[in-house]
């Protein structure tokens, strides 16, 4: 067991590229959602997206860390894909804008590139 909290982000092979992505997402959330809360008693002030609890953020050492559900692979639903990416962008911008005085850097973590090719 790690002596420090572990945060887990979804990847496309965890759910998006599976034969049954809905079932795989249910399993991912059962095992990994809020992983840090369920396995560590830590004092990080973790903020989670209200509708996408797999997304998390916290500030440590003057750095804002943001974990986002951005995966590659198949697009099963264009509207879900667009909505998730829009939510990610809006939430990330709101986090940055809400901490102008105590954050000097931002680290954004995700499984895949946030940019769409083409």
Query: Is-contact 68 92, C-beta < 8 A?
Result: yes
| Residue 6, token pair as written in the block | 């572990």
Q: Is pLDDT of 116 > 70?
A: no
Q: Given pLDDT bands bounded at 50, 70 and 90, which one contains residue 115? A: low
Total-model pTM: 0.90
Separation CA 10–CA 70 (nearest Å): 8
β-strands 47-48, 105-109 pairing:
unpaired
| pLDDT tens per residue across span 52-61 | 999 999 999 9
């Amino acid at each position: 067991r790690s002596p420090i909290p572990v945060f887990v982000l979804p990847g496309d092979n965890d759910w998006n590229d599976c034969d049954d992505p809905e079932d795989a997402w249910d399993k991912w959330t059962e095992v990994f959602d809020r992983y840090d809360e369920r396995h560590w008693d830590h004092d990080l002030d973790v903020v989670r997206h209200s509708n996408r609890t797999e997304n998390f953020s916290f500030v440590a050492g003057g750095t804002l860390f943001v974990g986002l559900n951005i995966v590659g692979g198949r697009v099963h639903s264009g509207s879900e894909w667009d909505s998730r990416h829009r939510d990610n962008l809006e939430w990330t911008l709101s986090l940055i804008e809400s901490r102008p005085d105590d954050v000097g850097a931002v680290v954004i973590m995700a499984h895949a590139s946030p940019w769409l090719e083409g």
